[in-house]
Chain A
Amino acid sequence: MIRLDELTKVFGTPAGDITAADRIDMEVPEGEICVLLGPSGCGKTTTMKMVNRLVEPTSGRIFIDGTDVTKTDPITLRRRIGYVIQQIGLFPNKTVEENICAVPDLLGWDRKKSRSRAAELLELVALDPAVFLKRFPKELSGGQQQRVGVIRALAADPPVMLMDEPFGAIDPINREVIQDEFLRMQSEIKKTIMFVSHDIDEAVKMADRIAIFDSGKLIQYDTPDDLLAHPKNNFIADFVGGDRTLKRLRLITVEEAMMKDPPRVTADDSLSDAVAKMEEHGHQSIIMVGPRGRARGAIRLSDARGQKGRVGEHYSKLPTTVRINEDLRNAVSAMFSADETWLACVDDDGNYKGYITQRGITHILGATYRDQ
């Protein structure tokens, strides 16, 4: 847990004092990612750098796991806090292994222990230790360097991590990959993380909570969904963007939004049974499943009414399906590209789990406004 108490930084400049961080009060709960967000010069980076005292606070206090660290020796403090920066900052004269072991070596760990830890960590980010341990940073691609930068920060297993736009210098495609990889890792290691970003989409994706800063002040500190649904003022609303409701699509999975236990038919059912089921539920079409419950196709009410025969003879193929663990953004995108108003939702094995409709999605997005 990280707690900031009235944390303030005033920089003296020839043009007068500048308050870079003005009485910041916030708490990052254990195991959560808090993204500090805002335009440049808003105080987010200054605030983060006060936590490991790269910037010495003017006043206020910092607590890590309940202990006041405002007056502890900064060198000792930094060795207990993982630190990742945008420019990565791998030491080019050291091998990947030596880079990862930098903090354990400073802490005087047993060499064997730190070296095996380095190999373990490389595997965690899908880099083969046999290949990469003895390489130099210059021999790695940007994405590989950033992965090594992240695991270097994890090497001594610090409870707290600070990340300063860690994925900012990576091309968009690799950034998505590394972000996903990092989130998977975080779900296991559960570090308490302060993460500086200027990208609202990254923040929505990575954060358990988002803190938005402006001119040195913490303006709003909320979960991504609350922030997008209820921006506190015009500055926040402008900052998160006019499409903020669409951004919330990312935060909801298909599983949460779909109608569960949907009616279904099999190939052997008669068309009249299918029509009866659709009419019972008020649906315009129904999904046909295979023997093991996989979604195989669909029958339209208009096609089936008055026809004789079995479902298996008349079904049409599904234009597309959506997986239940995807977010609503993907679902909406699939709907638009297939020109459908609803989609069948399947699990990883293709089993039919539910359906999702455009109306259902609008309803979910509207729900938090009606609650107010």
Chain B
Amino acid sequence: MDTILELTLQHIQIVAVAVGLAILTGVPIGIAITQDQRAADTVLYIAAIIITVPSIALFGVMIPILSLIGQGIGYVPAVIAILLYSQLPIIRNTYTAIANVDPALREAARGIGMTPLQRLRQVEIPLAIPVIMAGVRTAVVMNIGVAAIAAYIGAGGLGQLISRGISQTDPRQLVAGALAVSILAIAADFFLLWLQKRLTPRGLSVKRG
């Protein structure tokens, strides 16, 4: 059991670091492309292409490139892969949420003299939070699966149980690993849903009465 716990923590760490970095890059990109329709189309197209690349292929491509800095396999390529896969849901949701802020609110914000940055911080981002968080949830759940495959390039995590189960034809390890990954994905989804509700401004969820 000790190893399952350790592997789970490893797994969480890979996904958390990668998605954390993806938020730091994806949200600003998503906001930036609301200013230019052509840039938005291009960026979303590229992100969509990246997500269609099978993870095994992506790891394979990264091995020779990252070998140049001595990180061809292991933790670093796993994080980079998940970082790339997370871009589409995070950028797309950020872009959609910001672009769909009620034009009347934007006009009111401009009309009372907010600068573009104040508009973002005080109005647009708070209103976009629920949708951005939904993108983060998608990214996390999806990439908990991707991280399991990263065991094949020595990144550790629960994928090790699965890969060992396959190579040793040991169904116990295989099932334990698969179950642990599934449970982790479900638990992460619930946790992020809770977090999403916490981060949503209260004024958006209140009812009339």
Seen from chain A, the residues whose Cβ lies within 8 Å of a Cβ on chain B are: 52, 54, 75-79, 83, 85, 87-95, 102-103, 106, 136-141, 152-153, 162
Q: List 7 A-B contacts (CB under 8 A).
A: A83-B111, A89-B109, A91-B105, A93-B203, A103-B113, A139-B207, A152-B112
Nearest neighbor of B201 in chain A, beta-carbon distance: A93
Known: A78-B110, A89-B107, A106-B112. 8 other contacts (CB 8 A): A83-B111, A85-B107, A92-B127, A95-B203, A138-B203, A138-B204, A138-B206, A152-B112
* B3 shortest CB reach to chain A, Å: 45
Please name all residues of chain A whose beta carbon is closer than 8 Å to the beta carbon of B108 when the two chains form the complex.
83, 85, 87-91
CB distance from B149 to the nearest CB of A (A): 40
Are A93 and B127 also in contact (CB < 8 A) when A88-B104, A152-B112 are? yes
User: Using a Cβ–Cβ cut-off of 8 Å, how many residues does chain B contribute to the interface with A?
Assistant: 25
CB-based nearest A residue for B122:
A91
Most buried by A among B105, B203, B208, B209: B203
Q: Which residues of A contact B118 (CB under 8 A)?
A: 106
- Cα–Cα distance between A87 and B108 once the two chains are bound (Å): 9
Closest Cβ neighbor of B202 among chain A residues = A136
Tell me the smallest distance from the CB of B167 to a CB of chain A, in Å: 53
How far in angstroms is the closest Cβ of chain A from B134?
A: 17
Cβ of B67 under 8 Å from chain A: no
Say whether, besides A94-B203, A95-B203, A138-B207, A85 and B111 are in contact (CB < 8 Å). yes
Shortest Cβ distance from A135 into chain B, in angstroms?
8
Interface flag for B165 (CB, 8 Å) = no
Out of B105, B111, B209, name the residue touching A78 (CB < 8 Å). Answer: B111
CB of B37 closer than 8 Å to a CB of A: no
Q: CA A138 – CA B204 in complex, angstroms?
A: 8
A75 near B104 with CB under 8 A, answer no
Looking across the interface, which residue of chain B has its beta carbon closest to that of A136? B203
CB distance from B202 to the nearest CB of A (A): 7
> Across the interface, which residues of B come within 8 angstroms of A76, CB to CB?
113
* Minimum CB distance partner of A80 in chain B: B113
CB of A92 within 8 A of CB of B203, answer yes
Q: Which of B114, B204, B207 has the most CB of A within 10 A?
A: B114
Q: Is B115 an interface residue (CB 8 A)?
A: yes
Question: Judging by beta carbons under 8 Å apart, are A87 and B204 in contact?
Answer: no
The answer to whether the Cβ of B72 comes within 8 Å of any Cβ in the partner chain is no
Interface-centre pick from A79, A83, A89, A141 (highest chain B CB count, 10 A): A89
Give B139 Cβ to nearest chain A Cβ, in Å: 24
